[in-house]
Amino acid sequence: MENIDWNNLGFGYIKTDFNIRCTYKNGNWGDLEVSDSEYFPMHISATAIHYGQESFEGLKAFRGKDSKVRIFRMDENARRMQDSSAGTLMAQMPVDKFTDAVKKAVKLNEKFVPPYESGASLYIRPVLFGSGPQIGVKPADEYMFIVFVMPVGPYFKGGFQTTPFVIMREFDRSAPRGMGKYKVGGNYAASLVAGKKAHELGYSNIFYLDAKEKKYIDECGAANFFGIKNNTYITPKSLSILPSITNKSLMVLAEEMGMKVEQRQVPVEELSTFEETGACGTAAVISPIQRIDDYDENKSYVFSKDGKPGPVSEKLYNKLRAIQYGDEPDKYGWVTLV
């Protein structure tokens, strides 16, 4: 690992030694298999490549001060992948098999788990897709599940630093009764044009509004939204956003810190009342927001005048990281030691 600069990792693909695979055929999942290849042969008519019958997950493993490796809430990712399967008529990966594959992938690539001091982590990417052929729009008969891993640093530039975000009504990510609540590739394809425009304008990402009324904050392309005011943690309730495991954890930690928690619709104008806001997710962790520009209304909601993260975001961030790295007791049973 002499060629990995742990302290300056970005969020990008890095080849590691092994990945874990499992195929579903004739109505059954096979055994977990270990591969050292980054490739697999695929049928030219696989449903994944024609009709987007696929889902993926993202979770992380952390090396503690004690040099032990901890995986965060992997059973939650397993269940969310089952929901994505239900939403796309794919075979469901049993929770135990999912978690066994994740543990195995981490163990076999343990030397890629960044050292504690670097503040980096091992990103784990399970993916499940229709590998069997169809040409009619129908679910496949065969599926492939793969888990691979890579060391990563911060998703948004600078890590725990405030950055600007933007609202642009020109783009929708997903419809209220559509696929937004599932972690399926199509949602990310749908966010590429908007993401490119946001980046070109100097923003970290775009916040989508609800597609029906264009009144309420949904989320950004890869993270949920939260706002803080009057000792309350407020986060959108919506049919078209991904139920974030990070957000769910932060709600527990906010309550533990004596805050009120509200999961409800958040009208755009309410942005003017928040003391702090942030984007949260596995990759994003907490990405505190400097300001949100409303592109169409030519308005700017500023949350950090000096560019520093707010005190509540910082406290939540430290608390979450302390549990993930094993600096604080895992009283909710969120962590699995590898």
Binding-site ranges for ligand PLP (CB under 6 A):
58, 219, 222-224, 242, 244-247, 281-282
Tally of CB atoms within 10 A around 1: 10
Nearest to 167 by CA among 307, 310, 298: 298
219 makes contact, choosing from ligand COI, ligand PLP, none, with CB < 5 to 8 Å by partner type, with ligand PLP
Are 168 and 133 contacting, i.e. CB atoms less than 8 angstroms apart? no
Give DSSP secondary structure letters for 76-130: HHHHHHHHHHHHHTPPPPPHHHHHHHHHHHHHHTGGGSPPGGGT-EEEEEEEEEE
Tally of CB atoms within 10 A around 188: 14
Q: Residue of minimal CB distance from ligand PLP?
A: 281
Binding mask 172-201 for ligand COI (x = CB under 6 A): ----------------x-------------
Which of 58, 151, 154, 326 binds ligand COI (CB under 6 A)? It is 58
Residue 151 or residue 281: which is nearer to ligand COI going by CB? 281
Please tell me which residue in 60, 103, 181, 183 is annotated as part of the active site. Answer: 183
- With binding defined as CB under 6 A, does residue 151 bind ligand COI? no
Which of 114, 154, 281, 326 binds ligand COI (CB under 6 A)? It is 281
Q: Give CA separation, 210 vs 83, 177, 278, 324, in Å.
A: 21, 11, 18, 32
Which of 184, 198, 283, 316 binds ligand COI (CB under 6 A)? It is 283
Residue 85 or residue 224: which is nearer to ligand PLP going by CB? 224
Sole window of 131-139, 195-203, 210-218, 279-287 interacting with ligand COI (rule: CB under 6 A): 279-287
19: which strand partners? Answer: 35
Q: Is residue 209 packed enough to be buried (19+ CB in 10 Å), middle (13-18) or exposed (0-12)?
A: buried
138 part of the active site: no
* β-strands 59-63, 335-337 pairing: unpaired
Note the residues at the interface with ligand COI (CB under 6 A). Answer: 58, 188, 222, 281-283
As annotated, the active-site residues are 183
